[in-house]
Amino acid sequence: MRLLTIKQCKPGMKLAKKIFTEDGIVLLGENMELTARLIARLEECNVQYVYIHDPRTEDINNDTLISEETFRVAVKEIRKNFSLMMEPVSTNKGATRPFIAKPLKDMMGLIIDDLSSNKDAMIMLMNMGIVDHYLYQHSLNVCVYTSLLGMSYGYSREETIHLGLGALLHDIGKTKIDVDILKKPDALTKEEYEEMKLHTNRGFEILKDEPNLPLSVAHCALQHHERLDGSGYPRALKGNDIMEHARWIGIVDSYDAMTTSRVYSSPMLPHLAMEHLYAGSGTLYEQWMLAHFRDKVVIYPIGITVKLNSGETAVVVDYDPSYPQRPIVRVLTNEIGEDLTVPYEINLSRELSTMIVK
């Protein structure tokens, strides 16, 4: 299979992985043939990458971080519970809003079980696409990535669940932001930006009294935009005044926002997003956290097309967990763009003179 941006797709190509609705229901199944109309619709729905079949790369296997079943359960729970948060609290006597802690903790258990089944799991782009809802996809991505970081760092299962819940709910305050601001395709005005920043405080207010959720989860919502040098918001906290969980989430939130398509920006490839993060090393983000994050991220997603310094074009087919920035690639065309009769593979962790340039 090949990983392509939606803009690279052409009519006649066939999907190699499913596309889901925000309810976790299959919208387009595997082997669905793309038409010009379907491609345009997917682009409108903010689907950024899709896997397509290619005879030269059919043996490439992109194992997902979580199973399809866990993904579907997670998307359903996120949609249900975030929707509850969007509804005004009933003024009817005796009316209560359903508690969210138990279903979300159960969901976190499924995610951690999936991540635990592969001790060498690495952070890769989550391409089990949800159409139409950036907030749901982003919340799930940040939850899965941050949970994997917490597990690999050595947190206990209970602490990883707390970290994962904080990551899952870090943007819950956006359910209280005007949807016209959330989906505005242009730059926000100063007043709109100040309104957007209030999602941190509103998230804290939503979560701080939620039964059976640790208070740390509410503080993750409050503090995930704080930065080491005090340049963040809402309280301009510095250094260790920012709780550790929120510092992890701040890194992953920024990374996923950069690598995900939004109404006002196109996605960056992971290696460019990593460069942006490292520009804030020691000032915005903890150096030791960035180093751990870097060692757990697959910079070049499996299936993506790359250009080598030799001029040849290749597809990433695998990676060595010890050297995730130097993947194994399959060369498909020579330096003048001719398809090779017999493609061959290069392990970039061993052939150090060969580099990815694009």
pLDDT digits (tens, 9 = 90+) for 245-270: 999 999 999 999 888 766 556 678 78
Check residue 8 and give its pLDDT: 85
Q: Are 116 and 108 in contact (CB under 8 A)?
A: no
Check residue 94 and give its pLDDT: 46
Q: Are 131 and 21 in contact (CB under 8 A)?
A: yes
Please state, as a whole number, how many other Cβ atoms lie within 10 Å of the Cβ of residue 104. 24
Does residue 19 sit in helix, strand or coil? Answer: strand
Can you name the residues that pair with 281 across neighbouring β-strands? 285
- The least confident of 11-25, 93-107, 269-283 is 93-107
Decide if 1-61 and 68-88+98-296 have a common fold.
no
**SS3 track for 87-101:** CCCCCCCCCCCCCCH
Distance from C-alpha of 134 to C-alpha of 183, rounded to nearest angstrom: 10
Check residue 95 and give its pLDDT: 43
Token pair listed for 277: 């993060």
CA distances from 30 to 117, 185, 281, 303 (A): 25, 31, 41, 16
CA distances from 332 to 3, 4, 158, 211, 272 (A): 15, 15, 46, 56, 24
Amino acid letter for position 354: T
Distance from C-alpha of 291 to C-alpha of 274, rounded to nearest angstrom: 10
Rounded to an integer, the average pLDDT of 164-184 is: 91
Q: Are 293 and 272 in contact (CB under 8 A)?
A: no
Q: Are 46 and 19 in contact (CB under 8 A)?
A: no
Q: Residue 55: CA atoms inside 13 Å, Cβ hemisphere, count?
A: 2
Rounded to an integer, the average pLDDT of 120-138 is: 69
Closest CA to 161 of 169, 22, 340, 48: 169
Nearest-Å Rg of the Cα atoms of the chain is 21
- Average pLDDT taken over every residue of the chain: 87
Distance from C-alpha of 317 to C-alpha of 301, rounded to nearest angstrom: 9
CATH homologous superfamily for 1-61?
Molybdopterin biosynthesis moea protein, domain 2 (3.90.105.10)
Q: Using pLDDT thresholds of 50, 70 and 90, give the confidence band for residue 166.
A: very high
pLDDT digits (tens, 9 = 90+) for 130-157: 555 678 888 999 999 999 999 999 999 9
Distance from C-alpha of 218 to C-alpha of 216, rounded to nearest angstrom: 5
Can you name the residues that pair with 323 across neighbouring β-strands? 320
22 pLDDT above the threshold of 60: yes
Q: Residue 51: CA atoms inside 13 Å, Cβ hemisphere, count?
A: 24
Share of the chain above pLDDT 70, in %: 91
Q: Are 78 and 85 in contact (CB under 8 A)?
A: no
Q: Using pLDDT thresholds of 50, 70 and 90, give the confidence band for residue 172.
A: very high
CA distances from 64 to 37, 126, 210, 257, 263 (A): 28, 7, 32, 19, 26
Q: Are 3 and 301 in contact (CB under 8 A)?
A: yes
Q: What is the pTM of this model?
A: 0.84
Architecture of 68-88+98-296 per CATH? Answer: Orthogonal Bundle (1.10)
214 pLDDT above the threshold of 90: yes
Domain ranges across the chain: 1-61, 68-88+98-296, 304-358
Q: Are 19 and 51 in contact (CB under 8 A)?
A: no
Check residue 129 and give its pLDDT: 55
